[in-house]
Amino acid sequence: MNGQSSQHAWTERYAGALMNTFGAPKLVLTRGTGAHVWDADGREYVDLLGGIAVNALGHAHPRLVGAVTEQLGTLGHISNFFASEPQIRLAERLLALLGLGDLGGRVFFTNSGTEANEAAFKLTRRTGRTRVVATEGAFHGRTMGALALTAKEAYRAPFEPLPGDVVFVPYGDAAALEAAVDETTAAVVIEPVQGEAGVVVPPRDYLPAARRITHERGALLWLDEVQTGIGRMGSWFAHQHPDLVAEPVVPDIVTLAKGLAGGIPIGACIATGGTGKLFDPGNHGTTFGGNPVAAAAALAVIDTIEDEGLLEHVTALGERLRVGLGADARVTEVRGTGLLIGLDLAQPLAAEVVAAAQDAGFILNAATPERIRLAPPLVLTAEDVTAFLAAWPGILDAAGLTTGAVTGGAR
């Protein structure tokens, strides 16, 4: 590479050309393979964030590259006036993975998670009710509708007033949820595991309680699986995982995105049973949603997860990571299942830990000042885990972490 390809040069060009919505980029990345990426200066990193749980198959996976290339060479975009075989096959595949049987359902494809949640939000209005119950700590997206369901005040305040009739209750608190849901409630929206909040896991009886409560009040149960779906937790959907739910739950709405197409933009709003028939022609739409390339990519991701046994792989590697990370007394709690992992630090030095990890060749995320989030590619290798766990104590040393009292452990 020439001198103009350096981190500094590209960062300066970024600042001069892009809106300052994300601050200065931590790195300018130029290529990747598997769970490894390289920056503009040629330095290699193990990617333990995976594009924020997006790069399910890592970088440059041949199955994904092949599917996209073949589809783009055949049929790239056709608009919503027409249908394509990949779009139809993907919708059928997702309904099958949900295990709906005779209940059935319908899918609306979008381009992102926030758009999937916008579609779901609009769908709830077709019940004739307007009130939605969301949870504290929730993140559902940045568009105006999805933002109305997102709890973080710093995200909300600059754009208020937001679409109204939304109330927030403590996450994981079934009693508070029951008190908030009544016969005027259109829907309850819940993340089975809160990702942006730092991988917060509710009690195993929480989602079953939410299903009972919504059913009794005639409200819809909407599960936001944008971050947790498509193998991330070691199951196709988090609400199917026995470590996360005490008994099976069938939601009325499931929203997906992120890892669904392994980095190609896609989202899905899936409505089960009669909820799938609430939209009529003209009620909602999208130009790019469910285009053949994105649908082909998603089918390749699902096929690869099945063919390579990645659900079992994710389960085993996740357990090893959680145990290894929690072995250091400076980590006070480790949470999560599969390869969505959150940990609490003894001091609020998450940003310093992320910086030290980057210096050591590992990409992490600071979810809060005290919390670190890991969401690596599902194809992360055992060797990558070994290298990271070996480097972990030194990363905490470099960040200035000192020993704290252990208040939890691997969950």
Fold agreement between 3-20+32-60+309-379+395-399 and 66-307? no
Q: What is the pLDDT of residue 410?
A: 46
The model carries a pTM of 0.95
Arithmetic mean of pLDDT, 3-19:
86
Which alpha helices (DSSP H) does 73-204 contain, by range? 85-97, 113-125, 144-148, 153-156, 174-180
* Average pLDDT across the chain, whole number: 95
Distance of alpha carbon 60 from alpha carbon 79, whole angstroms: 27
For the segment 129-186, what is each residue's pLDDT rounded down to a tens digit? 999 999 999 999 999 999 999 999 999 999 999 998 999 999 999 999 999 999 999 9
**Amino acid in position 130:** T
Pick from 288, 221, 296, 231: nearest CA to 259: 231
Q: What is the pLDDT of residue 136?
A: 98
Distance of alpha carbon 6 from alpha carbon 110, whole angstroms: 36
Distance of alpha carbon 120 from alpha carbon 137, whole angstroms: 19
Q: What is the pLDDT of residue 3?
A: 45
Q: What is the pLDDT of residue 411?
A: 41
Arithmetic mean of pLDDT, 307-330:
98
105 is written with which tokens? Answer: 């359902």
Contact criterion met (CB below 8 Å) for 374 and 341? yes
Which alpha helices (DSSP H) does 31-143 contain, by range? 50-53, 62-72, 85-97, 113-125
Q: What are the extents of the domains in the chain?
A: 3-20+32-60+309-379+395-399, 66-307
Fold adopted by 66-307: Aspartate Aminotransferase; domain 2 (3.40.640)
Distance of alpha carbon 107 from alpha carbon 259, whole angstroms: 17
Please report which confidence band the pLDDT of residue 294 belongs to, taking 50, 70 and 90 as the band edges.
very high
pLDDT over 90, % of the chain: 95
Arithmetic mean of pLDDT, 115-121:
98
Q: What is the pLDDT of residue 344?
A: 98
SS3 state at 205: coil
Pairing of strands 253-256, 362-363: unpaired
Cβ contacts of 150-153, under 8 Å, gap ≥ 24: none
Arithmetic mean of pLDDT, 67-93:
97
Q: What is the pLDDT of residue 276?
A: 97
Flag whether pLDDT at 4 surpasses 90.
Answer: no
Arithmetic mean of pLDDT, 49-59:
98
**Amino acid in position 220:** L
Q: What is the pLDDT of residue 407?
A: 41
Arithmetic mean of pLDDT, 330-353:
98
pLDDT over 70, % of the chain: 97
Flag whether pLDDT at 356 surpasses 90.
Answer: yes
Ramachandran region, residue 81 (left: φ > 0; alpha: ψ -120 to 50; beta: rest): alpha
Residue 169 pairs with which residues in a beta bridge? 135
Contact criterion met (CB below 8 Å) for 331 and 345? yes
Over the Cα atoms of the chain, what is R_g? 21
Pairing of strands 185-190, 131-135: parallel
Q: What is the pLDDT of residue 239?
A: 98
Arithmetic mean of pLDDT, 290-312:
98
SS3 state at 220: strand
For the segment 369-397, what is each residue's pLDDT rounded down to a tens digit? 999 999 999 999 999 999 999 999 999 99
Q: Which CATH superfamily is domain 3-20+32-60+309-379+395-399 in?
A: Aspartate Aminotransferase, domain 1 (3.90.1150.10)
Pairing of strands 44-47, 362-363: parallel
Flag whether pLDDT at 127 surpasses 90.
Answer: yes
Please report which confidence band the pLDDT of residue 5 belongs to, taking 50, 70 and 90 as the band edges.
low
Flag whether pLDDT at 210 surpasses 90.
Answer: yes
Please report which confidence band the pLDDT of residue 403 belongs to, taking 50, 70 and 90 as the band edges.
confident
Distance of alpha carbon 207 from alpha carbon 143, whole angstroms: 26
Distance of alpha carbon 80 from alpha carbon 37, whole angstroms: 36
283 is written with which tokens? Answer: 């009620």
Please report which confidence band the pLDDT of residue 404 belongs to, taking 50, 70 and 90 as the band edges.
low
Flag whether pLDDT at 215 surpasses 70.
Answer: yes
